[in-house]
Structure 1
Amino acid sequence: MTAAAAGSVRVERVVTSGTFSLDGETFDVDNNVWLIGDDTEVLVVDAAHDAPAILSAVAGRRVVAVVCTHGHDDHIGAAVALAEATGAPVLLHPAEQELWRTVHPDRKPDAELADGMRLSVADAEVRVLHTPGHTWGSCSLYVPSLGAVFTGDTLFHGGPGATGRSYSDAPTIVASIRDRLLTLPDDTVVHTGHGAHTTVAAERPHVPTA
């Protein structure tokens, strides 16, 4: 687990391993699970693969919510187990319901994410940005006080996330990144769903202009 501090509120990363399955193919993947919070409470972003590992990182703190950036199985696999262990609600954009049901057919998310929604954890405000393209309901989470945005699989170190599979569209993801993410301050740290972090300024040259 790694952590970056900013006042009393900080970002912590847990890397979990498992598989991603879609369109009849399965791949081994490592996922970034993000905890935003302080010594008392945290918000979990993308409960991937391994609920016990995430619970270990939570370390007894109150979980305000389990927020899913999108509904691919590698990002939501541990969401229900984590919610049941902590009593926290699961939040997901309604356009992800079909993907969610393939993994959790007997349990719905507790609340819907929506563009412009504000969440609170510790002393931080978390702003929900609807950034479709990787999937139709993909969302990013912007935390102004931390100078950070959590992009799931929408924007990576090296450019836009994958499209070309079910529920995705390349022009849509480019528009989302240009209109919703590249408009953030250049020094905003981009915490991704997989791999290394980056910044808005670093990714600007890697995003097509149209």
Structure 2
Amino acid sequence: MTPRIDHTTTSGTFSLDGQTFDVENNAWVVGDDSECVIIDAPHDVAAIRRLVGDRHVLGVVCTHAHDDHVRRAPELADAVGAPIFLHPDDMVLWNLVHPDREPDRELADGQVIEVGGASLRVLHTPGHAPGAVCLYSPELGVVFTGDTLFAGGPGATGRSYSDFDVVVASIRDRLLPLPEDTEVRTGHGESSTIGAIRPQFDEWVARGY
């Protein structure tokens, strides 16, 4: 069967450092007609379950542990009977949201998750969050960047546990070398391509975006 990407947008809030903001998050489901992986668990479990349908879920893979990406992870994982995957460097953020529930599996740089005829290679891309990861699928020509990289610039680094220089290095060293036609599917907002983003990178760095 042919792998595909399903998508929905959910609305909710993001809270950190004593502030709360309204946000809209992308949720992605990757797989074929029989099995899939869920990327992030924002806001609306029912909407994500509609994307999954009756497929077997291999895991809820968290790109990072800001609350708008993981707040529903335990509920979603329990509903679909799947483990939660998170990079261990993001436990400091996870514990702010779920102090009484740990993720089930660790993500590691270079790890490959096979699902529905596609592979998702884990790229550790710290900066927006210490354990942030992106998921690259060469078969689908897609990289899921969470909040590390957007169509308009790097992920925000103005809050606790983030670092602008580190996220810039992650984008430069791990993402920009991908093929230029690679689609960039983000945690918020519109998609782009590596080829469209690459010419803007030096300008972003110069202005400390």
User: Scaled by the length of structure 1, what TM-score is found?
Assistant: 0.95
SS of residue in 2 equivalent to 1:207: helix
State the partner residue of 2:7: 13
* Letter of the structure 1 residue corresponding to residue 161 of structure 2: Y
Gaps of 5+ in 2: none
| Partner of residue 64 from structure 2, selected from 46, 64, 70 | 70
Partners of 1:48 and 1:189 in 2: CA distance: 21
State the partner residue of 1:187: 181
Q: Percent identity?
A: 60
* Letter of the structure 2 residue corresponding to residue 150 of structure 1: F
Q: How does 1:162-177 map to 2 (within 5 A)?
A: 162-177=156-171
Partners of 1:131 and 1:64 in 2: CA distance: 23
* Letter of the structure 1 residue corresponding to residue 141 of structure 2: G
* Letter of the structure 2 residue corresponding to residue 146 of structure 1: L
State the partner residue of 2:119: 125
State the partner residue of 1:142: 136
1:100 and 2:102 correspond: no
State the partner residue of 2:77: 83
SS of residue in 2 equivalent to 1:140: strand
RMSD, matched Cα: 1.1
Query: Cα deviation per residue 1:32-77 (whole Å; 9 max; x = unaligned)?
Result: 0000011111100011111111111111111111000000000001
Gaps of 5+ in 1: 1-6
Q: How does 1:103-114 map to 2 (within 5 A)?
A: 103-114=97-108
Query: Cα deviation per residue 1:170-195 (whole Å; 9 max; x = unaligned)?
Result: 01001000100000000000000000
How far residue 205 of structure 1 moved from its aligned partner, in angstroms, is 2.1
Q: How does 1:44-59 map to 2 (within 5 A)?
A: 44-59=38-53
Query: Cα deviation per residue 1:64-104 (whole Å; 9 max; x = unaligned)?
Result: 11000000000001110111011101000001112111111
How far residue 206 of structure 1 moved from its aligned partner, in angstroms, is 2.3
State the partner residue of 1:61: 55
Q: Which runs of 4+ in 1 moved over 6 A?
A: none
Partners of 1:207 and 1:104 in 2: CA distance: 35
SS of residue in 2 equivalent to 1:101: helix
State the partner residue of 1:151: 145
User: Scaled by the length of structure 2, what TM-score is found?
Assistant: 0.95
* Letter of the structure 1 residue corresponding to residue 186 of structure 2: T
